[in-house]
Amino acid sequence: MKPSLIYSSPKKRTLQTAQIIADICNIGDVYESNLLLEYDKGEWSSMPSSELQKTISKKGGWVSGRPAFDWHPPRGESWQDLQLRAKRVINNLKEAHQDTDVIVVVSHNQFIRAIRGVALDLSFNLWFDYKPTNAEVLEIDI
């Protein structure tokens, strides 16, 4: 099926990908949404992943090999916040579009994990363990 709409995170790399898809599928506009941004690490956004995990562990935010669901970095969002944002995106898409619309959403790794988990009604442990690859295509019926 051919997509009829494309939504993208406003970040440059996702917009570029979304525009390539739009050009190939002959779709006019790409709609930007801040709701599709990556997980917000707040003040720790520039920290490398290996250092981030160690810092989170020291601050009590890492439990049983994964981050605590309701813990958040300074001025950042928790995984629970991310899940709620993914639910909001799905609800917004359901309200704004017909069941027959094929919609492409171009986003980032952690957000893709969350929206997949919400769409499939997975527990946090199951959706957090999912590791999308770069440029992965994930089809979800909502």
- What are 29-51's pLDDT values in tens digits? 999 999 999 999 999 899 988 88
Place of tokens 């160690």: 54
Banded pLDDT at 6 (limits 50, 70, 90): very high
Asked if 114 and 134 count as a contact pair (C-beta separation under 8 A), the reply is no
Q: In what order do the strands lie in the sheet with 5-8?
A: 30-32, 5-8, 103-106
Tens-digit pLDDT profile for residues 61-108: 776 777 888 888 899 999 999 999 999 999 999 999 887 788 999 999
Q: From residue 10, how far is each of 36, 38, 65, 111, 137 by CA, in Å?
A: 8, 10, 31, 13, 19
Place of tokens 């390539």: 20
Backbone dihedral angles phi then psi of residue 6, each to the nearest 5 degrees: -130, 130
Identify the pLDDT of residue 101.
Answer: 85
Q: How far apart are CA 17 and CA 28, in angstroms?
A: 14
The chain-wide mean pLDDT, for the chain, equals: 90
Identify the pLDDT of residue 46.
Answer: 92
Q: What is the mean pLDDT of residues 5-34?
A: 95
Identify the pLDDT of residue 24.
Answer: 94
Task: Provide the token pair at 24.
Answer: 């190939």
Global pTM reads 0.89
